[in-house]
Structure 1
Amino acid sequence: MPGTTAAALGQRIETARHAAGLTRRQVCDVSGVSISMIRKTEGGERWPSDAVLDALARAVQTTPEELLGGPRRTDSRVHQAVPELQRVIAAYDLPDDGPVRPFPQLAAAVDLAVEYRVQSQYARLAEETPPLLDELFRAVDHAQGADREQTARLLALAIRSADAVAYKYGYRDLSARLVELMRWAAGIAGDPALEATAAYVRMEVYFSTGQLSPGLRSLRAAVDRMPAPTTEPLAAAAAALHMRAAVAAGRMRRADEAREHLRDAEVLARRVRERLYDGTAVGPDSLEIHRLAVAVELGEQQDLHDAVTAATRWAPPRELPAERRSHYYIDLGRAQMLLGRPQHAKESLLVARRIAPQHVREHGQVRAELATLVRLSRGRDEQLLQFARWAKAV
């Protein structure tokens, strides 16, 4: 499969072998592939022939397609709903005639969609968002003046909720299209804080394509475009941009830049109450969660040690959205893995799953971490194996 490297394929074969509880000698006996070839394949030194890959796949109780393609997406309800979402946004500027509920009812429906998103209820979101977007496109098309601006705000937030489904479930082109539609709706709304939120969400496109440098430039440009943060929503929007920029800079190993963005975010986050602002959780608690994320991205031992130590004294409050709290424990697990504490990492991932199962099950970093844990445990931890199979990590 295009994009699959020998190293990635080797890791998948090794993970599947450990999940099946087999040694290399046992795989050799079952498959007829030499131990030397198995070792080189698992180590990423050799790309196996089709015949060797078929034999190894049968021996470790999987298929060549699974080994080549990696973990599959999981929730069929989401995938079944995606074509309707694609249909609705294809004609966003030429909506069909139909009913439009009064503004208060539309606002309540959008609030519910935002709640589904931040609580990681992706299946319900996928099923209920398309008709809501259809109605909101009609509402924006019919409205005038201030009413159109207010309705466009609702539309931007609903599009963002739909994008969560597309992004989490791997529909990258659809996600990019939804992000552009969110920016279009935010422009109609004419609210600088909402436009900043659209820039925050747009960073997903850069994360998914690995274009971190232009993504970081886009965040800095969004900060520069913002008016002075004289109101709570503006301060929250600016803080969110700096928090996301800190993570991006951390992933690029730009330590000074990442810490500078964190400092700027701290100044702003301390001025606002912890709550959702245009669908983004911002405040002192969200800042602490991003502080851990930046430490993990930078990967510096002292920062990781300090972050893990801090986690013994502080935990995300239950009032925070489930998705944000589960992110914290996913990153805590990553930090613990980098510090050589796999058992602690497993426990952190289990906490993340209890908080937001759908979020954890669709998280690529979780699957990668679980696969590593399976290899380290040599498939001897049954609880871990069940977790990894549930997440399609093996």
Structure 2
Amino acid sequence: MPTDATGGVGRRIAYYRSVVRPKLTQKQLADAACVALGTIRKIERGERGVTDDTLAAIAEALGVDPGRLRSDREPSHSQARDALPALSAAIAAYDLPEDGPVRTIGELRQAVDEAEAWRLGSQYTRLVRRMPDLLAELARAHQAAVGQERAVTAALLVSAYRSADAAAYKLGAHDLSARMIELMRWVTSEADDPLLGATVAYVRTEIFFAARAHAAGLRALERAIDTAPAPSGLDEFAARGALHMRAAVIAGRARDAAAANTHLQEAGALAERVDEDIYRGTAFGPDSVRIHSVSVAVSLGGDHVGQALDVAREWKPPTRLPGERRSGFYIELGRAQLWSGLADDAFESLKVARRIAPQHTRDHPWVREDASTLRRLKRADSESLTSFAEWCAAT
């Protein structure tokens, strides 16, 4: 339901944007919230209302609770987590969807693409609130589809499940995430697209990360690499490269330095064959491999941590990369800096991550752990650090 911007919402947004942390321009706020710049301008001037979804996205970008921006000042809990039960109910009825309208394939594809953009921008609140209806509609479309159209709706379902899964996983609902990944695996067989298997194998790694079953996850990825289609075009090179990139990280978590370096080298060689772009919903290219090299170094720990600092001294992730991936770079870098005794640099990296993708940063367990450690180490800088720690619920 739209909130009346003339009641003070627009003024409060402008205040938090320009005066309070994180001090953003209107363009930066629009980019972080995945909202049109013109919309931000009109809201701040009080020329238009703002829907709950848009307000939640703006609040996440500003790093404040949505209740602080509302006219009625009602307290607001995590709207994303509050919406998870509806998402769970939607996938429980994956084969028995309720009757309802079904848009054209073109319209459904547009809705799925929009959800993917939210995923890449770490807009988890929007995802969990919108995905239950979209998943139910796609289930109806798939159930009614015949012939080639069935393969098309299956592929759209895989992409939609992936977007919903990203929100569930990042919000800590790992059981729900695992159920959606199993549905992705189920529907992939009907999509008539060999590369979708590689996509699902990439996402399935979340289950192994959550269970800390890193060695098993590495085996699963290596099997997926062996069965992936032989590279013959950009999509195939990117799909195989993304699997190697993911395998390098989970090998690092398994403390298998030899496997991690081997997979990272394979990913780097494949990255030279493609431009940095989004392939099958995953960013892959030379920049993404650099980011994952930092992740591998941090995962291996010990003497490897210095390699992460070396990368960061010479390179920063470009803005064309998805916000979640760029924020992840700074979260990993912050941990490397903290372990290296660079507490001030670590805090700066966490603040950069927050500016890029607030919700991804706030819900990241490493951020909470490292903010707690920094808070204990840096009592002299208590105000800004305490504020950050409270924002991400660090203990």
Per-residue deviation at 1:318? 0.4
Per-residue deviation at 1:208? 0.4
**8 Å contact 2:294–2:307 — kept in the other structure?**
no
Secondary structure at 1:137's aligned position in 2?
helix
Aligned ranges 1:119-268 → 2 under 5 Å: 119-268=121-270
Relative contact order (alpha carbons < 8 A, sep ≥ 6): 1 or 2 greater? Answer: 1
Per-residue deviation at 1:148? 1.0
Counterpart Cα distance in 1 of 2:244 and 2:77: 33
Q: Which moved more, 1:374-383 or 1:260-269?
A: 374-383
Aligned ranges 1:7-86 → 2 under 5 Å: 76-86=78-88
Secondary structure at 1:248's aligned position in 2?
helix
Match of 1:350 in 2: 351
**Larger Cα-atom Rg:** 1
**8 Å contact 1:379–1:385 — kept in the other structure?**
no
**8 Å contact 1:374–1:384 — kept in the other structure?**
yes
Match of 2:55 in 1: none
Per-residue deviation at 1:337? 1.2
Aligned residues, how many?
320
Counterpart Cα distance in 2 of 1:181 and 1:272: 30
Q: Deviations over 1:220-279 (max 9, x none)?
A: 111111121112111111111111110111111111110000011111111112111121
Secondary structure at 2:331's aligned position in 1?
helix
Counterpart Cα distance in 1 of 2:90 and 2:349: 39
Question: Which residue type is aligned with residue 119 of structure 2?
Answer: R
Give runs of ≥4 in structure 1 deviating > 4 Å.
none
Counterpart Cα distance in 2 of 1:298 and 1:189: 37
Counterpart Cα distance in 2 of 1:198 and 1:96: 27
Give the alignment partner of residue 118 of structure 2, picking from 102, 116, 119. Answer: 116
TM-score (norm: length of structure 2)? 0.79
Secondary structure at 1:392's aligned position in 2?
coil
Counterpart Cα distance in 1 of 2:94 and 2:229: 30
Match of 2:96 in 1: 94
Secondary structure at 1:189's aligned position in 2?
coil
- Mapped pair 1:387 → 2:388: yes
Question: Which residue type is aligned with residue 319 of structure 1?
Answer: R
Counterpart Cα distance in 2 of 1:142 and 1:253: 48
Secondary structure at 1:155's aligned position in 2?
helix
Counterpart Cα distance in 2 of 1:352 and 1:244: 21
Question: Which residue type is aligned with residue 359 of structure 1?
Answer: H
Match of 1:322 in 2: 323
Question: Which residue type is aligned with residue 305 of structure 1?
Answer: G
Structure 2 residue runs without a partner (length 5+): 1-75
Counterpart Cα distance in 2 of 1:335 and 1:100: 49
Counterpart Cα distance in 2 of 1:280 and 1:267: 17
Aligned ranges 1:334-349 → 2 under 5 Å: 334-349=335-350
Q: Deviations over 1:335-393 (max 9, x none)?
A: 11121111100000000000000000000011011111111113642111110010000
**8 Å contact 2:290–2:311 — kept in the other structure?**
no
Structure 1 residue runs without a partner (length 5+): 1-73
Q: Deviations over 1:176-234 (max 9, x none)?
A: 00011111122211212111110110110110011111111110111111121112111
Counterpart Cα distance in 1 of 2:380 and 2:107: 52
Match of 1:372 in 2: 373
Secondary structure at 1:333's aligned position in 2?
helix
Q: Which moved more, 1:378-387 or 1:193-202?
A: 378-387
Match of 2:23 in 1: none
Per-residue deviation at 1:286? 0.5
Q: Deviations over 1:76-97 (max 9, x none)?
A: 2112211111111111112222
Per-residue deviation at 1:144? 1.6
Match of 2:271 in 1: 269
Secondary structure at 2:189's aligned position in 1?
helix
Match of 1:5 in 2: none
Counterpart Cα distance in 2 of 1:91 and 1:304: 46
Per-residue deviation at 1:105? 0.6
**8 Å contact 2:195–2:229 — kept in the other structure?**
no
Per-residue deviation at 1:75? 5.4
TM-score (norm: length of structure 1)? 0.79
Secondary structure at 1:281's aligned position in 2?
strand
**8 Å contact 1:332–1:348 — kept in the other structure?**
yes
**8 Å contact 1:296–1:304 — kept in the other structure?**
yes
* Identical-pair percentage: 52
**8 Å contact 2:252–2:299 — kept in the other structure?**
yes
Question: Which residue type is aligned with residue 86 of structure 1?
Answer: S
Give the alignment partner of residue 284 of structure 2, picking from 282, 285, 297. Answer: 282
